[in-house]
Amino acid sequence: MQLSIFGLGYVGTVSAGCLAGDHNDVIGVDPNETKVDLINRGLAPIVEPHVKDLITENVRDGRLRATTSVHDAVSNSQMSMICVGTPSQLNGNLDLSHVRRVCEQIGQVLAHKDAYHIVVARSTMLPGSMESVVVPTLEAASGRRAGTDFGVCSNPEFLREGTAVRDFYNPPKTVIGENAPHDGDLLAELYARIDAPLIRTSVKVAEMVKYADNNWHALKVAFANEIGTIAKAAGLDGRQVMQIFCEDRKLNLSDYYLKPGFAFGGSCLPKDVRALTYKARSLDLDVPVLNSIMVSNRVHIERALELIASKQNRRIGILGFAFKATTDDLRESPVVELVERLIGKGYDLRLYDSNVNMAALTGANRDYILNHIPHISRLMVSSAAEVVDFGDTIVVGNAAEEFRSAAGQVNSDKVIVDLVRILDRNSDGGYEGMCW
């Protein structure tokens, strides 16, 4: 395939070398003549293991060259990849001026190019940037329409400095965001020989995935550092603690708990988060990530309350209020917190959870419901059907299987607020998902 790669910085140079190494004809484009000259002499403009060898070999074999001419690059390629920088502004937003400028330049050439051309963004941009910046700029500069006269895709990179070449050929996944399947088909051909999951999705989802990845990585570093800090202050080896932590591949290092939904609760997580942050305070340690966990959980409950209130219905039916399905445990259930907040605001509620049966509750659970939340017991009904008949807004609070059919039978004149994705739907007029 014939490719032009805009921006010969870190991502652009690695991408150019690796794609040329896969027997594509690659033209690197950069306004910096020094970078262009280095590439054309078979040298790398960045320091990164194995990149220089790739550049040398592919320039020698005629598969890679560089230029400052946008017209030359776009005219002699089928696909252009945008790999320019998107640095932070003072307020934390991205500076997309380099992206905008490159799109203007590409568009000006596309105005006079007859062949269909695909523009691929590998630069990291916030979700919606392709729609609000890349496409309008290309269309304005070319006088042509995306999806008809030229294609656009998002193709986020997952390269780490120091291991970038290995990461390119052995990625955790390849993500293609596309508006039209035929555009994604051509882009997917570039990765046909790479053994990794190929995920094709919408452009906005592809843009967001990169941010989910990087923020998760940052969170992991901060989390491990704070656990290590507390461990050391307590006379322990934090590395040993985290090494044992990482042995758990079923819960700790897995997709478990990483599905957006409602807040956490129960008898373990809230108690243990509070206990560890108390320990940190007693040791005069500042652990802002751990301290923020309970704050974030409370804010998520607030979001649910706002979501329910936005439907402007006073009669609310709650399906499931134990802290999760298949349990009768109401201790620190976020749904109980939500119910109490709704009661306090004057809403009329009915609740049902087959696992929370007054006649069967014993021990701590019975004491909790009788002495801590007796007002809630008076709102309980004996079936999901009663909840569905009563409420104008039906809130699904946990993922008990019986609620799937109950929610699916809600009349179109009612609203479902789904906190756990019991129904596989996207939000619309009669259905609202918590995070989808």
Residue 160 annotated in ligand binding: yes
Residue 331 annotated in ligand binding: yes
Q: Are 150 and 110 in contact (CB under 8 A)?
A: yes
> Between vectors from CA 263 to CA 326 and to CA 311, what angle results, nearest 5°?
100
Residue 324 annotated in ligand binding: yes
Q: How far is CA 220 from CA 88, 213, 341, 390, in A?
A: 22, 11, 33, 45
Helix (H) or strand (E) holding 64: strand 64-67
Residue 110 annotated in ligand binding: no
Separation of alpha carbons 305 and 308, rounded Å: 5
Q: To 10 degrees, the CA torsion angle through 348, 353, 356, 359?
A: 80
Residue 159 annotated in ligand binding: yes
Give the type of residue at 413.
Answer: D
Q: How far is CA 85 from CA 82, 121, 133, 197, in A?
A: 9, 11, 15, 27
Q: At 256, phi and psi to the nearest 5?
A: -65, 140
Q: How far is CA 13 from CA 52, 88, 100, in A?
A: 10, 21, 20
Residue 210 annotated in ligand binding: yes
Residue 52 annotated in ligand binding: no
CB burial string 55-72: b at 16+ within 10 A, e below: bbebbeeebbbbbeebee
Q: How far is CA 387 from the centre of its chain?
A: 34
Residue 403 annotated in ligand binding: no
Separation of alpha carbons 232 and 230, rounded Å: 6
End-to-end CA, the chain: 37
Paired with 395 in beta bridges are 318, 417
Residue 35 annotated in ligand binding: yes
* Catalytic residue list contains 435: no
Residue 151 annotated in ligand binding: no
Q: Which residue out of 18, 83, 103, 268 is catalytically annotated?
A: 268
Residue 345 annotated in ligand binding: no
Residue 271 annotated in ligand binding: yes
Q: Are 416 and 394 in contact (CB under 8 A)?
A: yes
Separation of alpha carbons 8 and 18, rounded Å: 13
Say which residue the tokens 């991408």 belong to. Answer: 15
Residue 298 annotated in ligand binding: no
Residue 265 annotated in ligand binding: yes
Residue 148 annotated in ligand binding: no
Give Cβ neighbours of residue 364 (< 8 Å, ≥ 6 apart): 331
Residue 258 annotated in ligand binding: yes
Q: Which residues are catalytic?
A: 268
Name the binding residues: 30, 35, 86, 124, 158-161, 210, 257-261, 265, 271, 324, 331
Name the binding residues for substrate: 158-161, 210, 257-261, 265, 324
Name the binding residues for NAD(+): 30, 35, 86, 124, 161, 271, 331
